Amino acid sequence: MNFSVIPISYYLVLSAVLFGLGLLAFVFKRNIITIFMAIELMLNAVNLAFVAFARAHNQLDGLVFVFFVIVVAACEAAVGLAIVISVYVNRQTLNIERINLLKF
Amino acid sequence: MIPFILFFLLAFVAVGAAVALIVAREPIHSALSLILVMISLAVLYLLLGAEFISAVQIIVYAGAIMVLFVFVIMLLNAGVEERTDFSKLAKWVGPILAFFMIVELGVWLSRSAIGRVVATGSPESYTPASTVGLSRMIFQQYLLPFEATSILILIAIIGALVLAKKGE
């Protein structure tokens, strides 16, 4: 079956909506782990745009970039969750508004 | 017709799960809906003809990274999210910002020239050979960045170990 009848703009708009929802979750959520997941959602939205553009231009560079984004996201998740664990050990909370040591 | 139905079904699942991520009170529910988003995106990558990226999305994202998230949620016993209201600015400015960004990006993307492209490029140059071509690019043209990511992963492992160990 031929799947290349869908215009690229459909994918791009879906990517924009997912990125916006990720931004909304980033701003709204109070749990530090959920905020992390919002960042992952935004990275996924950007990956979708990369793959759609790669398809539109018929070039594979976009897919290589998506591969690197996934690798960096894995590193970021490992280090970030280690930070979350150490913050929880020190402050006994996951609420982002109670972690305010650096705040004036 | 079938590709459009499939696309809109997947898009609906992805957006619905992203909304569920925001609405859910418990972090574990957010994590499970994020896994749903990632799986529907993986199927969308298949529709776009990127089989390798689709498999990596399932294995690395929905598999490894989200298992790490779920593991940390279980480890820290993260229950229902506490509702605090210290920051009024985020509550009011955030939704307005996100709304304008979605509208602006949506309008701009749907009107741009690239958006009207229906990617019908010769299939033999892209779809069946995409994994072969991708591996050629990674191990030839992008070999140095690829090697750099291995150093990055090593640094991330050391960083995670240092951060997560018991303080003396």
For chain B, which domains are there? 1-79 (1.20.120.1200), 120-168 (no CATH)
Indicate whether this model's pTM tops 0.90: no
Q: Predicted ipTM?
A: 0.91
**B22 contacts on A by Cβ (under 8 Å):** 21, 24-25, 28-29
Q: Which residues of chain B have pLDDT under 70?
A: 81-87, 90, 113-129, 166-168
| Fold assignment, A8-91 | Helix Hairpins (1.10.287)
Pick A18's closest partner by Cβ from B18, B120, B157: B18
Find where tokens 């690829």 sit.
B146
Share of chain A above pLDDT 90, in %: 40
Rounded to 5 degrees, what are φ and ψ at A59?
-125, 155
Dihedral, B105, B130, A7, B56 alpha carbons, nearest 10:
-50
What is the reported pLDDT for B125?
45
Question: For the segment A83-101, what is each residue's pLDDT rounded down to a tens digit?
Answer: 998 888 888 888 887 887 7
Instruction: Tell whether B42 lies on the interface with A, counting CB pairs under 8 A.
Output: no
Question: For the segment B13-50, what is each residue's pLDDT rounded down to a tens digit?
Answer: 999 999 999 988 889 999 999 999 999 999 999 888 88
**B31 contacts on A by Cβ (under 8 Å):** 33, 37
**B48 contacts on A by Cβ (under 8 Å):** 3, 11, 51-52, 54-55
- Give the residue extent of every domain in chain A: 8-91
**A31 contacts on B by Cβ (under 8 Å):** 27, 78, 81
Beta strands per DSSP E along chain B: none
Q: Of residues A41 and A30, which shows the higher confidence score? A: A41
Query: Is-contact B138 A23, C-beta < 8 A?
Result: no
Across residues A23-31, what is the average pLDDT? Answer: 86
Nearest chain B residue to A74 by CA distance is B65
Tokens linked to A84: 């979350």
Nearest chain A residue to B146 by CA distance is A68
A24 and B156 within 8 Å at the Cβ level: the answer is: no
Instruction: Tell whether A2 lies on the interface with B, counting CB pairs under 8 A.
Output: yes
Close Cβ partners of A21 (under 8 Å, ≥ 6 residues apart): A41, B15, B18, B19, B21, B22, B98
SS3 A31: strand
B97 and A23 within 8 Å at the Cβ level: the answer is: yes
Task: List all residues of chain A from 54 to 93 with a beta carbon under 8 Å from chain B.
Answer: 54-56, 58, 60-61, 63-64, 66-68, 70-79, 81-86, 88-89
Q: Of residues A32 and A97, which shows the higher confidence score? A: A32
